[in-house]
Amino acid sequence: MPAKIAIIGAGTTVFSLSMIRDLCLTPSLAGSTVHFMDIDEDRLNSAHALCERLAAEAGAELTLLKTKNRREALLGADFVILAALVGGHQRLKDGWAIARKHGYRFGGSLHIVHDEGFWINYCQLELMEDVLKDTLEICPNAWFMLVANPVSAGVTYLKRKYSKANIAGFCHGSNGVRYIARRLGLDPNEIEFEVPGVNHFIWLTEFKHKGEDAFPVLDRWIDEQSEAHFRECRDCDSMGPKMVDLYRKFGAYPIGDTGNPGGGAWGHWYHADDETERKWKEDPAEWYEGYFRHGEEEARKIKSIAEDKTRAVSEMISMTHSKEPMIPFIEAIVCDSPRTIILNILNDGNFVPGIPQDFQVEVPCRVSAAGVEGLPTKGLPQPLLSFALRDRVAPIEIELAAFESGSRELLLQLIMMDPWTRSIEQANALLDDILSLPYLSGMKERFGTTAKV
């Protein structure tokens, strides 16, 4: 059955190609229309042209449209995928350079030296709300699929304020369990698992292979093979010494962006200084440099293929499913083919005990034409629940209160929650410098230069 899908931020070519590839590999959605929208005309044209070529190579029955007008893209949409990052990665780099000047490191809060910097989130939350309001006006029954960060703050804020909207947040971090399974010699297609938590803080608490507990297999690998792996790997984030140490400490295994060198880089004690990071084979700065380099290389490859129409697009993107959850989510709803997908939703069914019920959680959900039904989990071990409340829930609550009120004082309190903040003077200096970035003039005007009580 066909669907109408709008991709906002479709100029992110690798993402758009991945979505179209997965759509090509889903015959039940033949005849669907995808409307590409981006404000950058060159990126939009490039992504659209490459995706059209990929669909043609695959012999897929799809209609691919393009526009710079967001409201046009939303007309008749059944699904709205928000993948846009306001200002791109350069804004992250600018803010991180300022933060490092003021003594901040990776491994602290999500909101400073991380890809959910408070200055990034401010612009993202504005965009998310604007797109959702247009969606509710133009295609009110559509599913608003939040892919862009900050997923946790976005789902929490939007669902609280627009309770009747169909909203689901997406993250591929849970696919880290599949990597672990392969490392252990287990078939990823024959595992069952639970990874409850909040976005960028999820933990493997249930792990079975062919119905049998697989934690003993993981324990044997740690006892017998992990040290050799640690010696050989240069950047072994998902199965590295820090991740194993966290598992030993808490009895649950950190998954995805919970603790890897990029992502959340939790907890900060592994990142106290350069020597400590070397001990744990952690190098978040290099991890991100590699991430950015890879993006630049992909962009060059895309440009090369876009300019040479004799080359197959499939040279750069293999025709195997990405295992991303977005197209399976759409298929489950459109074709009423029920399946369980890990999503980010409100905890209004106490799916992760101990997390506030009006806050986002990442949990398995039953998805079908009837919608999305969160499934209960056993939750997190008490110490991890306490850390989730302190390091994820509390800062986001302060951030959202600041966003809604325009209070500089609340922004300062958010900065004060970062483990690397040592004084109010340091926090003020950081905030002043961030708000002086030329493209944040609107944010500076809103939050001012003196505290609002």
The residues that are catalytic are: 172, 257
Task: Tell me if 171 is assigned to a ligand binding site.
Answer: yes
Tokens 């990929």 label which residue?
54
Count Cβ atoms below 10 Å from residue 371 Cβ, excluding itself. 12
> Angle 62-59-49 (CA atoms, 0-180°, nearest 5)?
60
Distance between CA atoms of residues 233 and 241, nearest Å: 10
The 3-state DSSP class for residue 304 equals helix
| Residue 303 one-letter amino acid | K
**For residue 150, is the peptide bond before it cis, meaning its omega torsion is within 30 degrees of 0?**
yes
Distance between CA atoms of residues 240 and 243, nearest Å: 5
φ, ψ for residue 232 (rounded to 5)? -85, -35
What residue ranges in 87-246 does DSSP mark as E strands?
143-146, 166-169, 191-194, 197-198, 201-204, 206-209, 212-213
For residue 83, CA distances in Å to 10, 15, 211, 219, 367 come to: 7, 8, 36, 38, 21
Residue 3 CB partners (closer than 8 Å, separation 6+)? 29, 32, 33, 78, 79, 330, 334
243-267 in b/e burial notation, b at 16+ Cβ within 10 A? bbebbeebebbbbbbbbbbbbbbbb
CB-based contact 199:171 (threshold 8 Å): yes
Tokens read off for 438: 């030329």
Residue 349 CB partners (closer than 8 Å, separation 6+)? 357, 374, 376
Task: Tell me if 200 is assigned to a ligand binding site.
Answer: yes
**Closest by Cα among 105, 445, 87, 71 to 285:** 105
Measure CA 347 to chain center: 18
Annotated binding site for substrate: 149
For the annotated binding site for Mn(2+), the residues are 171, 200
